[in-house]
Structure 1
Amino acid sequence: MEEASSLPELNGVLVGSKGSWKHLVGNIILGRDCMFTTDISAESEKREGTVCGRKVTLVKAPSWWRGYPLCDTPALFKTEMMLCTSLCPAGPHAFILVINTNLVFKESYRRATVEHLQTLYGQSVWDHTIIVFCSGLACPAIDDYIQSEGVPLQSLMRQCGNRYHVLCNEDMNSVVKVKELFDKIDAMVLANGSYESDGQLMQSAEDKRREVAQKAANMQLTSQTQKKKLRGLITGGWQPELRILILGWVFSGKSKAANTILNAEEFQAGSRTLESTVRSGEVDGRRVTIVDTPGWWKFFPAMFTSPAVKSEVTRAVSLCSPSPNVILLMFPLDTSFTEKQLEITLDNMKLLGESVWRHVIVVFTFEDCLGDNTIEHHIASEGKPLCTLIKLCGKRYHCLRSKNKDDRTQVTELLEKMEEMVAGKLFYLSAEPERDEEPPSETAEGKGAAKEVNHELDIEWDRQNWEMSHIVKGNGSMELPPLMEVGELCKKTEEQTVPGHNQAKSSEKTWRKSSRHGEAHDVQRPELTAYSMMLEREWNRRETCMEQNLGGNIWTIKGFQSEPDAKEKLRSCEKVQAWLETSSSGYGCGSSVHEA
């Protein structure tokens, strides 16, 4: 095309969810030597090269988790996503949206993609976006894939002007394929011009970054001063026995962190913990006992924490004989922490009494996603809710990497922080913690509602275990139970089909109609959908956490339970629906706290 000569230089931004293989597409375009890293870091990456006779600059933006609404993406990620366009000389010509064709493209993925791109880059982003499908190995039969994924993918493609391309790692004609991609980008630029960022939004993001950097530096200085003061309390090589109670959300990395501390695979990581378990060992010359506990939900209020979980947490205190002197409160770094998460955490911790905070160290898991940012950058970015929690814990916090577990420095530093905390305390948490105030009594109706929702949570959890075990591995010959897709409690899944599987029965109840364009912020959602929305967010988070634990290879999951009883599940759904219709709640996705 003659028009291609008008772009002697080409600037592109690689965008997409975690697991989309943006790094692979970038390496194919620039050549394997450019070495983009995987899609987990909060940092942008810039690489340059000469391709097809022109200078090419590619910037890989930070990723979001598939199915996560914008409010669940950490503030640090959102700020870096916005500012990554400034790394392109004179701005980007194209946003290259990468989609992994090895994964089903669900409606929740489409909504997350639309919300992230449109909010962070503006409505005009669609005039400058081209979809690149990537399979990693052999190129897929792309027409079949587009047809099989149905409305969610096809709707997103229309939003991008039906511009798409296919790249794969083992294609012998990759140079030809890259040249074809450049021709499509040239045509897009000829028709729509180059992307222009919103100067006011970019300046706001720059100001936010500088503010966070200053706060992070102040936090580091305070932490160092506090450490020096507490180390002065430890004399003569004193090393107390550490009796550690681990608490936190479901899938917050509690079991993996416990294994990291003990330097042994003592706890079952990567699956939901159902019972409190105690293990002991010697770590750096210290006697260490750890009790791992079942987690509570991230999005559901404490009233929906099941009696079984509460009972196990209470029992866990007695397992730290004679009582725990350290409590590690775990939070993953790859998700946001809003006012609602603070409220839910405080309410769940009331089970152990008001004095519990004197023994708590906040531990952040999955430090790998920070890149060169510090943990203080994350805390400062999340703003008031997380800073309030850190202050409540005496400004004690630490972070653990999920990779490079052979580096024991992170564990040694954590043990020292535990010793410093214990040295400053003259008492331990009682096995029967005091109650500073009586919790408000629940009505019989409230208890029944919580019981039904807990029942639904357990049933859907088992159903998804079954689905992941059989469907995600590609066993299409199996008969499915009546489908209740991830998020079907909040919406009716658009009419999409999956090869080899039955569609959802038309008689199933539609719980919410999706919006015309699918953006979550375009719909005036009635109050009755609040808890249904939380269900969808819990399942999306569960799915991404399992993928993270398995290194992205979610189709190799084994060992799940058998198919739950479909009739029982549907009866439970109807009971929850009846309650939702008479319930009101302020719980939802929206958060006004420190959005980028």
Structure 2
Amino acid sequence: MESSRLRGNAATALKILLVGPKRTGKSSTGNTLLGRGQVFDTRGGGASTARRAFTAGRQLTVVDAQGWGSSEEFVPKEEKIEQLRALSLCGTEGPHVVLLIVPLLDFTEQERKAVERRMEVYGSSVWRHTMVVFTFGDCLNRRACSVQEHISSGGPALQWLMEKCRYRYQVLDNKAAVTGKRGLKQEVNRIGRKLENTWWKKDELQLGRVSRKGEADVMRELGQKQVREMLSKIEDILHENGGWHFSLHMYQRLEEEWSRRESELRAWLKADVGNERGKQKREETKVKAEPEQEHKLEEAMQEQSLRKERKDDCEETRINQGKDEEVGVRVELRRLSSEGDEWYSSSVNVEEKEEVV
């Protein structure tokens, strides 16, 4: 299954960046990956180098970055420049995966800080593409423990490293490609090996009859097995990242875009929550105000009714007053009329008397 998946992607060159401290087996890891002997100089101290080869069914481009020092407080300017130059050797798209080389020894707090400072040069997004490669894998046999036991007992510094890499790791024994009959005997005794359609026995007699060509085949098969396991895990990392390369500038742009969208989303959520709260507050106010409004409406209706009654009373009073005035006028007219009649009558009588005289 794994080999078919790798063959399906064989047309695509896989770009790998090797980073780590000096004297940790970083260049040897590159040689094991390429399977072409001493491609990278294992003496250390050299500049970052890129090499290509077809191995384990894949076209690989491996960049061996210059090893960094042990300073934990700051990163020298020369180291930063060399780290960025190693990244540029992977091409414009960048590497698919970053292999952080760490010896299978005690991982101290000082080493943790040194790793943290160097990886900060690439930005926090580099951890999405990073896998730890534990070198000196033969130490597990001497300790008679598994890599899981080594990690669980490694202390907080190693736990931090595992969490940053999402517990993606691979144990590598770079000595498997250069060991002699002793290493071959140990491997055959452990699992047995089928060479040229023949199962070799585990005794010293049969091991002595293995030709030099057979030894080379066994060692090459051991190296290829480790490489296949590592490439399978790299394929998983590629799948997790959607097949993306690691590009410093691309992730900077993506982080800016993500920050912008996050700010917009937060503002939208805040406004939406504010609208909901405002609506809820209006509803609560409405519920509270309804009894008061009903009471005020009743008072207003009562007051309006009283005003109407008062208006009717006033109108009736005005009408009554008018009637009274009219009656009074009539009475006055009658009085005046009667007085006039009396005056007229008296005047007529006087005249009559004067005429008689």
Normalised by the length of structure 1, the TM-score is: 0.32
Corresponding residue to 2:247 among 417, 424, 430: 430
Corresponding residue to 1:268 among 41, 44, 47: 41
Identify unmatched segments of 5+ residues in structure 2. 178-218, 257-357
* Counterpart for residue 55 of structure 1: none
* Counterpart for residue 395 of structure 1: 167
Q: Does 1:421 align with 2:194?
A: no
Q: Does 1:320 align with 2:320?
A: no
CA 425–273 in structure 1, closer or farther in 2 if over 3 Å, else same: same
- The letter for the 1-side match of 2:8 is G
Corresponding residue to 2:145 among 359, 370, 373: 373
SS in 2 for 1:404: helix
SS in 2 for 1:341: helix
CA 313–252 in structure 1, closer or farther in 2 if over 3 Å, else same: same
Residues 278 and 290 of structure 1 are in contact (CA less than 8 Å); yes or no, is this contact kept in structure 2? yes
* Counterpart for residue 227 of structure 2: 411
Q: Does 1:293 align with 2:48?
A: no
Q: What displacement does 1:419 show?
A: 1.0
Q: What displacement does 1:267 show?
A: 0.3
Q: What displacement does 1:236 show?
A: 8.6
Q: Distance in 2 between matches of 1:237 and 1:268?
A: 32
Q: Distance in 2 between matches of 1:365 and 1:236?
A: 27
Corresponding residue to 2:16 among 225, 239, 244: 244
Q: Distance in 2 between matches of 1:277 and 1:350?
A: 21
Residues 318 and 431 of structure 1 are in contact (CA less than 8 Å); yes or no, is this contact kept in structure 2? no
- The letter for the 2-side match of 1:401 is D
Identify unmatched segments of 5+ residues in structure 1. 1-227, 438-596
Residues 274 and 309 of structure 1 are in contact (CA less than 8 Å); yes or no, is this contact kept in structure 2? no
Residues 352 and 434 of structure 1 are in contact (CA less than 8 Å); yes or no, is this contact kept in structure 2? no
SS in 1 for 2:111: helix
CA 394–318 in structure 1, closer or farther in 2 if over 3 Å, else same: same
Deviations 1:448-495 (A, max 9, x none): xxxxxxxxxxxxxxxxxxxxxxxxxxxxxxxxxxxxxxxxxxxxxxxx
Q: Distance in 2 between matches of 1:396 and 1:360?
A: 8
Q: What displacement does 1:290 show?
A: 0.5
SS in 2 for 1:382: coil
Q: Does 1:362 align with 2:132?
A: yes
Q: What displacement does 1:320 show?
A: 0.7
Q: What displacement does 1:388 show?
A: 1.7
Q: What displacement does 1:302 show?
A: 4.7
* Counterpart for residue 51 of structure 2: 279
Q: What displacement does 1:340 show?
A: 2.5
Corresponding residue to 2:123 among 345, 349, 353: 353
Residues 277 and 291 of structure 1 are in contact (CA less than 8 Å); yes or no, is this contact kept in structure 2? yes
- The letter for the 2-side match of 1:254 is K
Residues 7 and 58 of structure 2 are in contact (CA less than 8 Å); yes or no, is this contact kept in structure 1? no
Residues 20 and 26 of structure 2 are in contact (CA less than 8 Å); yes or no, is this contact kept in structure 1? yes
- The letter for the 1-side match of 2:168 is R
CA 287–236 in structure 1, closer or farther in 2 if over 3 Å, else same: closer
Q: How does 1:99-498 map to 2 (within 5 A)?
A: 237-239=8-10, 240-264=12-36, 265-269=38-42, 271-298=43-70, 300-303=71-74, 305-321=75-91, 322-333=93-104, 335-371=105-141, 372-405=144-177, 406=219, 407=222, 408-426=224-242, 427-432=244-249, 434=252
Q: What displacement does 1:273 show?
A: 3.1
Q: Distance in 1 between matches of 2:130 and 2:73?
A: 19
Q: What displacement does 1:272 show?
A: 2.2
Q: What displacement does 1:297 show?
A: 2.1
Q: What displacement does 1:282 show?
A: 0.4
* Counterpart for residue 482 of structure 1: none
CA 238–257 in structure 1, closer or farther in 2 if over 3 Å, else same: same
Q: How does 1:57-76 map to 2 (within 5 A)?
A: none
| Higher share of residues assigned helix | 2
Q: What displacement does 1:351 show?
A: 0.4
Residues 53 and 60 of structure 2 are in contact (CA less than 8 Å); yes or no, is this contact kept in structure 1? yes
CA 382–235 in structure 1, closer or farther in 2 if over 3 Å, else same: closer
Q: Distance in 2 between matches of 1:297 and 1:273?
A: 11
Deviations 1:417-449 (A, max 9, x none): 111111221322115463979xxxxxxxxxxxx
Deviations 1:493-533 (A, max 9, x none): xxxxxxxxxxxxxxxxxxxxxxxxxxxxxxxxxxxxxxxxx
SS in 2 for 1:434: helix
Deviations 1:266-288 (A, max 9, x none): 1000x223311000000111010
Deviations 1:294-321 (A, max 9, x none): 12223x2151x33222111101111112
Q: Distance in 2 between matches of 1:326 and 1:370?
A: 26
Deviations 1:234-285 (A, max 9, x none): 699344431000001111111011001101211000x223311000000111
Q: Distance in 2 between matches of 1:387 and 1:394?
A: 10
Q: Distance in 2 between matches of 1:242 and 1:235?
A: 11
- The letter for the 2-side match of 1:391 is E
Q: Which has the larger radius of gyration?
A: 2
Q: Distance in 1 between matches of 2:15 and 2:69?
A: 25
Residues 16 and 97 of structure 2 are in contact (CA less than 8 Å); yes or no, is this contact kept in structure 1? yes
Q: What displacement does 1:367 show?
A: 0.5
After the TM superposition, which parts of structure 1 deviate over 4 Å for at least 4 consecutive aligned residues?
A: none
Percent identical: 36
CA 332–424 in structure 1, closer or farther in 2 if over 3 Å, else same: same
Residues 273 and 293 of structure 1 are in contact (CA less than 8 Å); yes or no, is this contact kept in structure 2? no
Q: Distance in 1 between matches of 2:100 and 2:120?
A: 13
Q: Distance in 2 between matches of 1:238 and 1:423?
A: 12
- The letter for the 1-side match of 2:159 is C
